[in-house]
Structure 1
Amino acid sequence: MTAGTRGAQGAAAGLDPRLDPRLDLRLDLRLDLDLDKLYTARLQAARARPYLATALFALHTVESRQVPTMAVDRYWRCYVSPGFVDRTPVEELAGVWVHEVSHLLRDHHGRGDRLARTRGLTGPAERLRMNIAADMEINDDAFGDGLVRPQGAVVPGDLHLPSGELMEDYLRQFGLGPRTEHLVWLDCGSGADGSAREWDLGPDGADGLSEQQRDAVRFRVAQAISGRPGNAPRGWKRWAEEAFHPPQPWRELLGAALRSATSGPGAGDDYSYGRPSRRSTALPGVVLPSLRRRPPRVTVVIDTSGSVSDAELGSALLEVAAISRTVGGRRDLVSVVSCDAAARVADPICQAEGIPLIGGGGTDLRAGFAKALGGRPRPDVIVALTDGQTPWPSAPPPCRTVVGLFPRARRPRSYDEDNPEYVPDSPPEWARVVVIDA
């Protein structure tokens, strides 16, 4: 195989096509799909990665002269170019099989759709970035140990990025430019980024897997990885753990944490003479107050520092509205404190529909906690909505605390220009923490 023909392999696994793709299509018209070679490569992939065998053999092959190489859709169809199979060695085809099925197992199509909605990522350029980011998540530990890395497969080091991160993390760290010019033909299909292609057969096409079948395949692969934890790379171990213990929807978790805090002993309790205590009958002439439960007062401390995005602030405002419903619609019992390095005035949300969120500087939520506790009457519950890049109070406040945490990249980074080694502490143990996917 010459360097030129090898370069024509194109987009599968992030390869770099160096021939005119129109020429590839003309060549494909004269070729039949070599199923023996293709399935030999799949068998080799299953031998090299036995924990992925269920997923590899669940893929249904569709011959297509529209795809440049190999691509998948969300219904577990694998579209294959005859010319690509003809030009690619069996050893490299095995790596492409593993690469493509990894997109589906890791739900890159669903995650791509969510990213497009929440971050406003539209258009083919952003979908290409998603495909590149998804490829880096897969390729950094996919090859070796019996599996050949296809020539040109993009790995994080190619873009000077750290390994071991997720698609969402990588997507924040690079843009299209000179370093990605060789990836312009990359196209692993709608299964890699969620955007439908013209060659997709769609939900009503033949040989697609139902949602239940797709979930069953993922569960069996997770079982195989967990049963032999020493044989799988770290990325697959992390995936299998999440498959067995999927993260619960953060809105439900935040609502449950708030309900638990507001309904606990002491929250909203007060003595009242409006209804005397039943024990008063034992003390003639003495009126004893009874302990009555009132709706709890909640103060929401919103991190408005420059590191919190507009989308995250929008999520925070939605949660303020949800919190008011949790306390029975008593909006007068819910106050909001905007806080970056300094706390602003606590605004009862009953005063206006629009809640002013003032800030944009550094972060020190200790000021926000102090402002909340300094209010009269004092809150029964404090809810802090933050990205966590802040110092925390050294002692627990005298009320229940819930922290809604906007996630950040997993890698260490500096949050203090004067101290490059500074990394903020995690939320304290006395707070109930819920990760918010804005």
Structure 2
Amino acid sequence: MNGPAAGPLPREAPANALDTGKLFAARLQAARVRPYLATALFALSPVVCRRVPTMAVDAYWRCYVSPAYVDRTRVEELAGAWVHEVSHLLRDHHGRSDRYARRHGRDGPAERLRMNIAADCEINDDAYGDGLARPGGAVVPGALGLEDGELMEDYLRQFRLGPHTAHLAWLECGSGADGVTRAWDLGPDGAHGLSAQERDAVRFRVAQRITGRPGNAPSGWRRWAEEAFHPPQPWRQLLGAAVRAAASAPGAGEDYVHGRPARRSAAVPGAVLPSLRRRPTRVVVVIDTSGSVSDTELGSALLEVAAISRAVGGRGDLVGVLPCDAAAGRVRPLCGGTEGVELLGGGGTDLRTGFTRALESRPRPDVVVMLTDGQTPWPSRRPPCRTVVGLFGRQHGGSSYDESDPEYRPGGPPAWARVVTIG
């Protein structure tokens, strides 16, 4: 799918002439230095717009371009701007911004600007170099005292607007970056927009180019492509249901603290009574590392761990990982991301030891997530916390337990577990 390479561009109103030759030369240069993004770059439809300071996109893959910006900017920097804007769309920053706003109850112009800044940090940490010039004013994580290599949601937890971000008030990447419709947006029924099916097709073809030529794309793009081909299961919904059920149980996720006295202290003169405070939900993920689990399935398990971490707000300290075959290791917090997870094992399978070790960890988990092929005996009793089982996509059934028997089919998970198929 190609955007228009010639002919009149859609216009919001009569405007200064746009130097289309320069604009399209910059897009061609961007495609040459980032060939894995070529399909997406040529799927963008330019729209002349004097109300944007530089370039901006909407969710329907239109790119709104300021003629004045094109006139004053070198072709090399324009190429970087093309890559930047299409990256917002490929990474679904508009959808992720909307989900973040709903989840955290934070919205409004200031909060959406913060989302745009965080999305720019996710893109710009490894987008430039190797033949692609960084556009003037591009936001990088280091300028805000942040580390490279993190996601938009991670950055949103780490900074607030203030004097150090005042110089970014002009930032405007459009509704395709932060999810808020602009006055100039042409909307779903406007000319040259892509349908949902066309947008998915573009993303799939870009992911295919990245995974088909390993080593040519930065790590951020490789991570994105892997998730595009193997989308994580909807852990946010699954964990949400499990956590809500866990929280409704007496005493679950609660503790008494003196940081804020209880209101009833006034009824007991001379005494300061503690208040009941809800603590963050803690999750332990038990990963089956037995010999019957393939490397591909272990890779899928790590993708799911990353998705689970995002489901609890990106706080790695709230997620513990426990490799387990016939013996269980120890629960390690996910503070360093999935790159630091060691999946040791390769022997037989008895995930009952994993359940036991997970429940012995301190602080005690509110939810245990088990990622397994199912070839394991299960605890005879319901664990004292919510349990979600992720089964790698195989056929399960039968009741015998002998992994050396080629006819062996394991029994399914117990009824008390919430089960989802992975892959």
TM-score relative to the length of structure 1: 0.58
Counterpart residue identity of residue 49, structure 2:
S
1-structure distance, mates of 2:186, 2:97: 19
Find the residue that maps to 1:230 and give its secondary structure.
Answer: coil
Per the alignment, residue 369 of structure 2 pairs with 432
Find the residue that maps to 2:18 and give its secondary structure.
Answer: coil
Deviations 1:99-139 (A, max 9, x none): 00000000000001101111112110001000000000000
Per the alignment, residue 84 of structure 1 pairs with 69
Pair 128,387 (structure 1): closer, same or farther in 2 beyond 3 Å: farther
Q: Does 1:225 align with 2:210?
A: yes
1:280-359 equivalences under 5 Å are 318-319=244-245, 335-339=249-253, 358-359=276-277
Deviations 1:214-252 (A, max 9, x none): 000000000000011100000000000000011122266
Post-superposition shift, 1:172? 1.0
CA contact (8 A) 2:40 2:202 kept: yes
Per the alignment, residue 4 of structure 1 pairs with none
Q: Does 1:192 align with 2:100?
A: no
Find the residue that maps to 1:62 and give its secondary structure.
Answer: strand
Between the aligned residues of both structures, percent identity stands at 65
Counterpart residue identity of residue 183, structure 2:
E
CA contact (8 A) 2:246 2:252 kept: no
Counterpart residue identity of residue 42, structure 2:
F
Counterpart residue identity of residue 176, structure 1:
L
Counterpart residue identity of residue 333, structure 2:
D
1-structure distance, mates of 2:171, 2:102: 22
Per the alignment, residue 312 of structure 2 pairs with 407
CA contact (8 A) 1:33 1:82 kept: yes
CA contact (8 A) 1:339 1:358 kept: no
1:15-30 equivalences under 5 Å are none
Pair 85,412 (structure 1): closer, same or farther in 2 beyond 3 Å: farther
Per the alignment, residue 150 of structure 1 pairs with 135
User: 161, 169, 189: which one pairs with 2:146?
Assistant: 161
Per the alignment, residue 380 of structure 1 pairs with none
CA contact (8 A) 2:283 2:369 kept: no
2-structure distance, mates of 1:411, 1:92: 37
Post-superposition shift, 1:336? 4.0
Q: Does 1:98 align with 2:83?
A: yes
2-structure distance, mates of 1:159, 1:388: 32
Per the alignment, residue 36 of structure 2 pairs with 51
1-structure distance, mates of 2:277, 2:106: 26
Find the residue that maps to 2:189 and give its secondary structure.
Answer: coil
Per the alignment, residue 386 of structure 1 pairs with 282
Find the residue that maps to 1:78 and give its secondary structure.
Answer: strand
Find the residue that maps to 1:142 and give its secondary structure.
Answer: coil
Q: Does 1:211 align with 2:196?
A: yes
CA contact (8 A) 2:317 2:333 kept: no
Unaligned runs of 5+ in 1: 1-27, 255-311, 322-333, 343-356, 364-384, 390-402, 416-422
Q: Does 1:63 align with 2:48?
A: yes
1-structure distance, mates of 2:81, 2:30: 9
Counterpart residue identity of residue 338, structure 1:
A
Unaligned runs of 5+ in 2: 1-12, 257-274, 286-304, 321-330, 335-340, 342-352, 356-367, 371-387, 391-423
1-structure distance, mates of 2:175, 2:133: 25
Pair 65,339 (structure 1): closer, same or farther in 2 beyond 3 Å: closer
Post-superposition shift, 1:253? 4.8
2-structure distance, mates of 1:251, 1:134: 21
Pair 316,70 (structure 1): closer, same or farther in 2 beyond 3 Å: same
User: 218, 223, 242: which one pairs with 2:227?
Assistant: 242
Task: Could you list the structure 1 runs, at least 4 aligned residues long, displaced by more than 4 angstroms after superposition.
Answer: 251-254, 339-342, 403-406, 410-413, 426-429
Find the residue that maps to 1:180 and give its secondary structure.
Answer: helix
Per the alignment, residue 128 of structure 1 pairs with 113
2-structure distance, mates of 1:56, 1:160: 31
Find the residue that maps to 1:165 and give its secondary structure.
Answer: coil
* Length, aligned pairs only: 281
Per the alignment, residue 6 of structure 1 pairs with none
2-structure distance, mates of 1:410, 1:53: 35
Pair 177,29 (structure 1): closer, same or farther in 2 beyond 3 Å: farther
Per the alignment, residue 18 of structure 2 pairs with 33
Post-superposition shift, 1:87? 0.6
TM-score relative to the length of structure 2: 0.60
Q: Over aligned residues, Cα RMSD in angstroms? A: 3.3
Per the alignment, residue 123 of structure 2 pairs with 138
1-structure distance, mates of 2:234, 2:209: 26
CA contact (8 A) 1:51 1:221 kept: yes
Per the alignment, residue 104 of structure 2 pairs with 119
2-structure distance, mates of 1:242, 1:91: 30
2-structure distance, mates of 1:120, 1:48: 40
Find the residue that maps to 1:432 and give its secondary structure.
Answer: strand
Post-superposition shift, 1:360? 4.7
1-structure distance, mates of 2:315, 2:200: 27
1-structure distance, mates of 2:22, 2:315: 41
Per the alignment, residue 8 of structure 2 pairs with none
Counterpart residue identity of residue 176, structure 2:
G
2-structure distance, mates of 1:236, 1:169: 17
Post-superposition shift, 1:181? 1.0
2-structure distance, mates of 1:239, 1:30: 38
1-structure distance, mates of 2:210, 2:315: 23
1-structure distance, mates of 2:15, 2:56: 21
Find the residue that maps to 1:170 and give its secondary structure.
Answer: helix
